[in-house]
Structures are given as structure tokens and as C-alpha cells.
Structure 1
Amino acid sequence: MGLLTFSLNITLDGCIDHQEGIADDETHAFFSRLMDEAGAMLWGRVTYEMMESYWPAVARGEVEATQAMRDWAIGLEVKPKYVVSSVRTAFPWNNSHHIGGDLRTSVQKLKEATPAGVLLGSGMLATELDRLDLIDEYKFLVHPRIAGHGPTLYRRGLANTRRLELISSTPLRNGAVVMHYRRACG
């Protein structure tokens, strides 16, 4: 069974607005490596729609982009993408699949069917999956910024504090730090 890894850009004050992070080649290369290592992507509908509105055009060369951005976009085209939604069932972007029904059961089946692991990249969905104890690892890219606004990570709260074990911390040249944690046992 593959691990479910939650990865996201986050500022020092917890803001997860995608426009607040450093969007340079180093950042895109980091997320491309994560995506390449995973067997599938998992998003909520809102994140999917945001990604779908931009990245396919980058992959087709219709939008000016750096090579690192284009590599990320091309990788997304072929990567299986699973979308949790109770509102929408059709997802036309290449290799996109709907996940409906019982969230715990559906995501557990996805993890079991994806030995290389699943990369989760949606903040609101992460809260729900963490409440269900389904997230195994966290790989946050912490940006050296204080946004002073939301949205923030876990703003709807969790029932219990999550104890995590630090696996690694890796500074990037741009000042961001990759923080890799695993859920602590016991």
C-alpha cells in the first residue's frame, strides 16, 4: 500500500494562498520531483479547477513559462489525478478521475491501489483526510514570508493534535525550507 503524502506551499504564518509562495524554478523542480515519485495526485474540486485552468495550457506551450514550469505541467498531463467532489463528476483533463462516495473508503482504496503513493495537494481536503487519520506524511515547502492573511492551513480545526516526527529539513537557495514529517507512532 502506498503512503498518502500531503504537500503544500505555506508561509511562516500558515497562509496557503498559492500566490504567496515563491514560484521560481527551484520550487517547481521540488514539486516536479515529488510528483514524479508519486503514483497519483489527489485534489479537492477547487484545487483541481484552479490547476486545470492553467497547467494544461502551459503543457501545450500556449503560455510563456520557464522550463521547470513546463516540466511540471507536462508531468501533470500524464500523472493520474483523482478529484474528490460531491458537486462535480466529470473531469476532462487528461487522466483525471472522480472520487465520490464515502471519503475514508475511497481514499483507502486509492492508497491500496497506488504502491508508489499518492500526493495530496489540497488544504481543505487535507483537513478532512487528517480527521480520518489517512495522511501518512507531510512535505511542506515553508516560504520565508508572512502573508498576514488567509486562507490558512487547518483553519477548520482538528479534533486532536497531530504528533509528527521530523524526517528531514532541507533549505533551498531561495530561502524556503522543505520540511518532511511522518506521523509519530504512539
Structure 2
Amino acid sequence: MGLLIFSTNVTLDGCVDHRAGIADEETHAFFTRLMDEAGAMLWGRVTYEMMEDFWPAVARGEGEAPPAIREWAVKLEAKPKYVVSSKRSDFPWTNSHHIAGDLRTGVQNLKDATPAGVLLGSVKLAAALDRLELIDEYKFLVHPRIVGHGPTLYERGLPGARHLELITAAPLSNGVVAMHYRRAPAKPKA
């Protein structure tokens, strides 16, 4: 069974708006490495549609793009992409697949079938999967910005705190810090 790894960009004040962070070659190279290590990508419909509207054209070489960004697009094109949606069932982008029905069962089956792990990149879906206790690890890029608006990480809350163990914390040259956490084992009840 592979791990479900939630990864996203987040500012110091918790904003996860993709336009609020530093989108440079170094951050794209970081996410390309994460994608290389994973067996599949997992998104909600909104994230899928945002990605589908932009990245296939970059992968085809349409328009100018720095090498790290083009590399991300080409690798993303080839990577299996799974989408959770109750509103849409047709996902024509290359290597895209629909997860329908019970969320817990669908995602657990994907984890079981993907030994290299699944990289989750949708904030709202991550909150739903965290409520189901399906997320195993968290890899956040924490950006040195306070933006003063949302959306924010877990803005609708969780039923309880998530206790995590720090695996690594590594600063990038652009001031972003790559944080890697694993869910801490449950403490025995006294």
C-alpha cells in the first residue's frame, strides 16, 4: 500500500491561494521531484479543471516557459491523474481517471493500488480526506509572505488536532521552507 501525501503551497498566515506564493523555477522543481516520487496525482474537480486549462498547452510547447516549468508540465502530462467529483465524470486530459462513489473506499483503493504513493494537491479534498484519516504525510512549501486573505488551509476545521512528526525542514534559496511531516502514531489511551 502506498502513502497518501498532501502537498501544497501555504503562506505564513495560512493562505493557499495558488497566486499568493512564489511561483518560480525552484518551487516548480520541488513539486516536480515530489511528482517523480509518487505513482499518481489526486485532485478534486476544481483543481483538476484549473490544471487542465493551463498545463497541457505548456507540455505541448505552446508559449514561453522556463525549463523547470516545462519539465513539470511534460511530466504531469504523463502522470496518472485521479479526480474526485460528483458533478463531472468525463476527464479527457491524458491519463486522467474518475474516482466516483464512496470517498473513503475510492481513495483507499487508489492507495492500495499505488505502491509508490499518491500525491494529493487539492486543499478542500485534503480536508475531507483528513477527516477520514486517510492522509499519511504532509509536504508543505511555506512561503515567506503574509497576504491577509484566503482561502486558508483547513478553513472549515477538523474534528480534532492532527499530531505530526517533523521529518525534514529545508530552506530554499528563495526564502520558502519545505516542510515534511508524518502523522504521529496514536498514543495509547490510559
TM-score, length-scaled by structure 1: 0.99
Deviation of the 1:12 alpha carbon: 0.2
> What is the distance in 1 between the residues matched to 2:128 and 2:63?
34
Q: Give the match for residue 52 of structure 1.
A: 52
CA-atom RMSD in angstroms: 0.4
Q: Pairwise mapping of residues 86-105 of structure 1 onto structure 2 (< 5 A)?
A: 86-105=86-105
Deviation of the 1:17 alpha carbon: 0.3
Partner of 1:10, secondary structure, is strand
Q: Give the match for residue 17 of structure 1.
A: 17
Q: Give the match for residue 108 of structure 1.
A: 108
Q: Pairwise mapping of residues 13-162 of structure 1 onto structure 2 (< 5 A)?
A: 13-162=13-162
Structure 2: gaps of 5 or more residues: none
Partner letter of residue 58 of structure 1? V
> What is the distance in 2 between the residues matched to 1:54 and 1:41?
16
- Cα offsets for 1:7-36 (capped at 9, x unmatched): 000000000000011011100000000000
Partner of 2:8, secondary structure, is strand
Partner letter of residue 105 of structure 2? T
Q: Give the match for residue 2 of structure 1.
A: 2
Partner letter of residue 178 of structure 2? V
> What is the distance in 2 between the residues matched to 1:70 and 1:122?
21
- Cα offsets for 1:53-87 (capped at 9, x unmatched): 00000000112110000000000110000000000
> What is the distance in 2 between the residues matched to 1:45 and 1:120?
12
Partner letter of residue 139 of structure 2? K
Moved over 2 A (4+): none
- Cα offsets for 1:129-175 (capped at 9, x unmatched): 00000000000000000010000010111001000000000000000
Is 1:173 aligned to residue 173 of structure 2? yes
Partner letter of residue 120 of structure 2? L
Q: What percentage of residue pairs aligned between the two structures are identical?
A: 76
Is 1:184 aligned to residue 184 of structure 2? yes
> What is the distance in 2 between the residues matched to 1:95 and 1:85?
16
Structure 1: gaps of 5 or more residues: none
> What is the distance in 2 between the residues matched to 1:8 and 1:64?
25
> What is the distance in 2 between the residues matched to 1:147 and 1:114?
36
- Cα offsets for 1:90-140 (capped at 9, x unmatched): 000000000010000000000000000000000000000000000000000
Partner of 2:169, secondary structure, is strand
Partner letter of residue 25 of structure 1? E
Partner letter of residue 181 of structure 2? Y
